[in-house]
Structures are given as C-alpha cells and as structure tokens.
C-alpha cells in the first residue's frame, strides 16, 4: 500500500490473502479490537521492498487487543504465516500496543539470503523507531522475536508457548531482552548471525 489506510474493528475477523506491504511514507493504522487472519506464507511488512517511511500505528486496549494470527487459528501449527516484519526504513513512531501475535514465523524464501522470521521481526530498524508495549507473542516458529541490528522500545512483552523466545544478531547486547517475560519457552534467547 502506498497511501494511508485504517482497518476498522468492524471488519473483524479480516482475512488477508497475498500479504500486506506498507511502502514509502504510508501509514497503516489498526483499530483496537481488530483481528487480522493471514493465509499461509503471507505477512505484514512495514517499509517493504527497500522503501522508506512506512509506519504502523496499532494501538489496542486491554479490553480490545489487536490480534494478528493465521487464517485457521483453531487448527494450524505455528509458522503458517510469516508474521509482522519491521524492515529497514520503518518510520519513527511505529507502535504495536495491546496486541497478540500468534502462529507466525518461519523461513522467508522470498528474501535472498533467506531470512528467519519470528512472530515479530525487526531488521536494521533505527533505534527507538518501533515501540512494542503490552504485547503477547505465542506459538511462533523460529522465535517469538527476531532482532537483527534493531533496538525497539519494549515494555511488558510476553513470549510464550514456543521453542526460542528471542533470536538476536551478534551486535545486540543481552540487556535488550530485559523487558521480556517468558512462559513455557525452552530457550529464552539465542544469539546467531541472522
């Protein structure tokens, strides 16, 4: 998408086919209570395809969280859709708040070299451009969060029901994971070239 768009709660559940790319200077706003269901291997990418200035404003509430999940939430294993990806060029002020991201992640074969994605992935995003607060990531493949050369602002992020909580690129300090809590996670974090 190249122009600003607001997706309303009244559309829930909204099934996405073909993924969503937020491009040059466009803002995607998700209304509190919206549920988005993504088809297999689809995604939500902010500042897609090397564009600059794409932004996500997704502010749920405790009573009406935003949910990003698979098209078949009751019968599908983790990793059926590729998740939420904040790419290089994501605009300052992007926010995901009071949200649940589930059953996402995997190996994105559309990217060369192949990119490992979690439920939420950040790649080379400017420090502080993205805020994650009061977010639950669960049932993810690869990891709940994948952070490559990115330092989001995080507060009250819960990672649960998966193998690895966070995949970190070697340039990031361990302290970046302090705002996270882990529940039913085999490895809280793992460091590797991404």
Task: Work out the burial of residue 104: count CB atoms within 10 Å of its CB; fewer than 13 is exposed, 13-18 middle, 19 or more buried.
Answer: buried
Instruction: Using the predicted structure, report yes or no on whether residue 194 has a pLDDT greater than 70.
Output: no
| Strand, helix or coil for residue 176 | helix
Instruction: Compute the distance between CA of residue 9 and CA of residue 19 in angstroms, rounded to an integer.
Output: 19
pLDDT at 142: 84
pLDDT band at residue 141 under the 50/70/90 scheme? confident
Instruction: Compute the distance between CA of residue 182 and CA of residue 104 in angstroms, rounded to an integer.
Output: 17
pLDDT band at residue 73 under the 50/70/90 scheme? confident
Question: Which has more pLDDT, 117 or 133?
Answer: 133
Instruction: Compute the distance between CA of residue 78 and CA of residue 193 in angstroms, rounded to an integer.
Output: 23
Instruction: Using the predicted structure, report yes or no on whether residue 62 has a pLDDT greater than 80.
Output: yes
Task: Compute the average pLDDT of residues 108-130.
Answer: 84
137 and 120 Cβ atoms separated by less than 8 Å: yes
pLDDT band at residue 122 under the 50/70/90 scheme? very high
Task: Compute the average pLDDT of residues 115-137.
Answer: 94
Task: Work out the burial of residue 114: count CB atoms within 10 Å of its CB; fewer than 13 is exposed, 13-18 middle, 19 or more buried.
Answer: exposed
Domain ranges of the chain: 5-191
Q: Assign residue 73 a region: left if phi > 0, alpha if psi is -120 to 50, beta otherwise?
A: alpha
| Strand, helix or coil for residue 49 | helix
Q: What is the mean pLDDT of the chain?
A: 91
Task: Work out the burial of residue 42: count CB atoms within 10 Å of its CB; fewer than 13 is exposed, 13-18 middle, 19 or more buried.
Answer: buried
Instruction: Using the predicted structure, report yes or no on whether residue 94 has a pLDDT greater than 70.
Output: yes
Instruction: Using the predicted structure, report yes or no on whether residue 75 has a pLDDT greater than 80.
Output: no
Instruction: Using the predicted structure, report yes or no on whether residue 192 has a pLDDT greater than 90.
Output: no
The CA distances from residue 57 to 16, 93, 174, 187, in Å, are: 18, 8, 27, 30
pLDDT by residue (tens digit) across 105-115? 877 766 666 67
pLDDT at 76: 59
Quick one: DSSP state of residue 90? P
**Percent share of the chain, pLDDT over 70:** 94
pLDDT at 109: 67
Instruction: Using the predicted structure, report yes or no on whether residue 25 has a pLDDT greater than 80.
Output: yes
Lowest average pLDDT, out of 47-61, 111-125, 160-174, goes to 111-125
pLDDT at 77: 64
Q: Which of 191, 133, 186 is nearest to 161 (CA)?
A: 186
């Amino acid at each position: 998408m190249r122009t600003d768009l607001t997706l309303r709660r009244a559309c829930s559940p909204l099934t996405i086919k073909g993924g969503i790319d937020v491009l040059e200077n466009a803002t995607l706003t998700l209304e509190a209570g919206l549920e988005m269901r993504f088809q297999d291997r689809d995604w939500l990418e902010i500042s897609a395809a090397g564009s600059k200035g794409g932004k996500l404003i997704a502010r749920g509430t405790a009573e009406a969280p935003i949910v990003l999940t698979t098209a078949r939430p009751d019968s599908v294993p983790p990793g059926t859709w590729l998740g939420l990806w904040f790419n290089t060029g994501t605009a300052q002020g992007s926010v995901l708040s009071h949200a649940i991201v589930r059953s996402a992640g995997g190996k994105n074969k559309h990217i060369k070299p192949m990119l490992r994605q979690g439920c939420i992935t950040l790649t080379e995003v400017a420090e502080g451009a993205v805020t994650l607060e009061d977010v639950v990531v669960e049932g993810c493949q690869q990891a709940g969060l994948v952070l490559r050369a990115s330092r989001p602002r995080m507060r009250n992020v819960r990672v649960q029901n998966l193998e690895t909580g966070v995949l970190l690129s070697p340039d990031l300090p361990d302290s970046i994971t302090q705002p996270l809590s882990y529940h039913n996670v085999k490895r809280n974090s793992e460091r590797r070239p991404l």
